Chains A and B, each alone.
Chain A
Amino acid sequence: MKNLNELTIHQLIQSFESGEATAEGATSQVLDAIEAGAEYNAYISVFERDALLQKAREVDAARAAGKSAELGLLAGVPIAVKDNICTRVGKTTSGSKMLANFESPYDATVIQKLEAAGAIIVGKTNMDELSMGSSSETSYFGAVRNPHDIERVAGGSSGGSAAAVAANLCLASLGTDTGGSIRQPASHCGVVGVKPTYGRVSRYGVVAYASSLDQVGPMTRSVADAALMLEVLCGEDPLDATSSAREVPRFRDALGKGVKGLKIGIPKEYQSGEEGVDPQVLSRVREGIDRLVAAGAEVVPVTLPHTEYAIATYYLVAAAEASSNLARLDGARYGLRVEADNLSDMYNKSRAEGFGDEVTRRIILGTYVLSSGFYGQYYGKAQQVRTRIQRDFDAAFEEVDVLVAPVAPTAAFRIGEKSDDPLTMYLADIFTISANLAGIPAMSVPCGKTDEGLPVGLQILAPAFDEEMMLRVAAEVEQ
């Protein structure tokens, strides 16, 4: 018999309903596991035990009183959220020294939704500073460690959220994905990670990295759990003008329909050895595709001709938006302030002291590409290429139902291995970035392990707002 903290959300809720388990027990076991699993450095902060247990007991009491029907979809489920998502309780550091003591006076919309669904939010997970990184090594609070091999990275930037799910330090978590930051650590840690369509989930209350690319999504132990989480998280938010008014489907209904007759597109640009893809990763992905074919899907080769420009485009757009989004972190109203003789020095010193190298690098890059005389050459051009990339996907989805691809070129690498080489690090996002540029949904689902026992994820990409199709295929890979 598994511990409660090792179950999927569905399993846990079943044991609540059968009376085998209580929310208090589940919360307690999760909190114990977090303490025992401190070596992964998956959390930046954990909320107060007594308050969490009290909340859990209220759920248990409601259930005992026969009010199960009134309880939300996640009643009593211990969940962790990435520390760039604002919560009234505790701190919201975004992994940065700049915000190390920041207490948000408001809750993000996704937090309100989780709480309305009855989830027990246990704490805030570790992450690359301000979501900038592909390994969760740039956090001011230290690197996250991969539960499958503690010497290796968890992936980034939502590495803490992935590690927490993988190491059973919560039942599910929220991450954010700007260029692959949910999918890539999910792949490295062997969990399911979904980046929904841009606009599906409100960004209100999420410390912005690159506004036109950021999206919140779930990290779970099963595809079904991911579907359930999406039902809670998705929907229009009057506080986020970019959120979509589209109706939210009952995503769980998409599961179990099989893939017979579906056309699975394999982008030729994602298969070539040129991208330095580890052969073991490629073969695990091929095995995943084989399972789909065996289940009746048809494989169709497709082309995404502008793939080679995706990384450059991404770093121009993301850095430009980040340089502007981070301007508010100036030491004036909240966050770190370094005293100085005049205003300009106060800004300069606070920002120099508060931001780490990777963040500084991207702010400088973003400031440069937006500066007068370079805008057209860089940002303007990047937006044009972005449109081409979107059209590549539109054309591909004329032919196929979903695309499948690797998530990352390699399994989790060793801590420190790529830290000194930012450009090589940027290549870690090569397969994930395009989905953010195009705004389409994409997810990582575990598809096996390398000889060293490191998890490998398979990526499924679907047309905008067709998360159902994506989940349906993912469920088949998961078998």
Chain B
Amino acid sequence: MSQKISEEIRQRYEVVIGLEVHVQLRTETKIFSGASAAYGAAPNTQVSPLDLGLPGVLPVLNMRAVEFAMKAGFALNCEVREWSRFARKNYFYPDMPKGYQITQFEHPICEFGHLEVAVDPAGLAPGADAPQGAEATKKVRILRIHMEEDAGKSTHVEGQPYSLVDLNRAGVPLIEIVSEPDIRSASEAVDYLKKLRNIVVYLGISDGNMQEGSFRCDANVSVRPWGQEALGTRSELKNINSFKFVHDAIDFEVNRQIAMLESGEKVVQETRLYNPDKGETFSMRSKEESHDYRYFPEPDLPPLVIDSAWMERVKTTLPELPEARRARYLGELGLSEYDAGVLTDDFLLSEYFNEAVAACPKDAKPSLYKSVANWIINELLARLDGETGLADVKVRPPQLARLVQLIDEDAISGKIGKKVFDEMLASGAEPDAIIEAKGLKQISDSGALGEIIDQLIAENPEPVADYRAGNNNIVGWFVGQVMKATRGQANPKVVNKLLVEKLRGDA
């Protein structure tokens, strides 16, 4: 039932989006029990009496999870609360063993932050100027970040009168990051999510894996005629697990709501799910069916009190975040916008680059860093396949840095460099060792090269005559012959210089 809305009609409406993002924290153990929080174990092998909701068990807060939540708060410009509290959210569900979820409600650990996103011109009022300079980005306000436990996982078996419940995930720590409805288009939503994901990965607090559910998003979407202050009725799109689906689901929902309003219907407040196969959203439950969660303060946990010393200690452990790192690559290391962007958008890639930079000599010129970046982006990435990732590629950053340095110092040519690189990828050997073993060191010695050239000139009177008759292109043929004679090891610059001298008869 995909509605086609003309661009003209669509432009009459302002899109309003708020995002709720669940981030699974990468702690060793669960948020309230000592059971392992690792992903992928056999079902129900990582459960303690607490995770099973046995009578008499009590939650004990994992302070590592608290530190992770604090880090997220600091990185997202939030106020981290000295005093926060957990609450119970009561509802019956088979993968909620206690009959309630422990979450933060009235008093979350972090509040009032923001994240900078790129303004999408498509989300601006008709006739508005295209955003330039400072207007090209905007702050999306973050209302709150709260901590909570994850539920277990139900698997519904087709055609069977039962479901399977795996409680390994029950009690895994989450933070929920709730934005204000400041987002004005699907693209802005995706930019926000990408930036957010990048930050939590940089912080080391989550692996940000959307397929495994470590980074899940609910989007609250509504539309209103431009100029109207009151928010339109929203629908909540639940658990969307890829950036593309977020984009498509929001676009579909915007069109659906506009079509309803245009045809005089009322949008109803409801929870909807996205079907990626059909590219459509469908109703899961309406507001009338929504639960009464009967929140109240969790009596088994004392309030969470974070003193200033603890806050300071956590602050000092904050790593360099994507924005700062990008700025450093542009400024200190002299990279291009493009290179800095590609490298910082992927944490592992950026870490790889950082390690390579750290392995370069202290007095290296910016051009060396630029070369390292090029090698990583153009050569290394091109040769990674689905099976080999950055983490397990055999060429480690210091080795790559060494290779680039050898090329930079003319110890080998760029062409030989690529051969050496292939060898490094295959065996993990050091570049110097490969060059040594295969005798690939570049010959820059003008004496040795001069002898070869002299011999060539002596043996090839015709091309020499050609050159002297004015055919400069013939130099290339000579270079090729020198390279052939030296199995590619001759330094092309030196060869060129000597050839020209000798062909002219200067030397």
Contacts and interface: CB of A to CB of B under 8 A. Distances in A.
Interface in A233-247: 238-242
A439 to B, nearest CB: 12
A207 B294 contact: no
A241 B98 contact: no
B301 interface: yes
Nearest to A380: B296
Contact of A241 (B292, B295, B300): B300
Contacts of B56: 84-86, 92, 104, 108, 203-208
B23 to A, nearest CB: 24
Contacts of B99: 324, 326-328, 330
Contact of A327 (B59, B92, B302): B92
B100 A241 contact: no
Interface string A87-111: 0000010100001001011101000
Interface string A315-346: 00000110110111110111000000001100
Interface string A192-226: 00000000000111111011100000000000000
24 contacts: A92-B55, A92-B56, A99-B55, A104-B55, A203-B58, A206-B56, A207-B55, A207-B56, A241-B58, A241-B59, A241-B61, A241-B302, A242-B299, A242-B302, A326-B99, A327-B90, A327-B98, A328-B54, A333-B97, A343-B94, A370-B294, A370-B295, A372-B292, A375-B294
A465 interface: no
A397 interface: no
B417 interface: no
Contacts of A203: 56, 58
B53 interface: yes
B294 A372 contact: yes
A355 B49 CA distance: 23
A333 B302 CA distance: 28
Nearest to A351: B92
A333 B300 contact: no
Interface of B: 49, 52-61, 88, 90, 92, 94, 97-100, 292-296, 299-302
Contacts of B295: 370, 375
Interface residues of A, number: 46
A419 interface: no
Contact of B55 (A94, A238, A240): A94
Specify the main secondary structure of chain A where it touches its partner: loop
A334 B54 CA distance: 8
A108 B56 CA distance: 8
Contacts, number: 101
A309 interface: no
Interface string A296-328: 000000000000000000000000110110111
A320 B296 contact: yes
B60 A239 contact: yes
Contacts of B94: 332, 343
Contacts of B57: 204-205
B58 A240 contact: yes
A211 B55 contact: no
A196 to B, nearest CB: 17
A107 B467 CA distance: 97
Contacts of A370: 90, 294-296
A371 B60 contact: no
Nearest to A214: B299
Given A211-B300, A367-B294, A328 B55 contact: yes
A105 B58 contact: no
B58 A239 contact: yes
Contacts of B52: 333
Given A106-B54, A211-B299, A324-B88, 7 more contacts: A86-B56, A102-B55, A207-B56, A238-B60, A242-B299, A328-B97, A328-B98
Nearest to A98: B55
B54 A208 contact: no
Across the A-B interface, give the 8 residue pairs with the lowest CB-CB distance, nearest first. A327-B99, A211-B299, A370-B294, A212-B299, A328-B53, A207-B55, A205-B56, A86-B56
Interface string A359-384: 00000000100111001000100000
A86 B49 CA distance: 12
A426 interface: no
A347 interface: yes
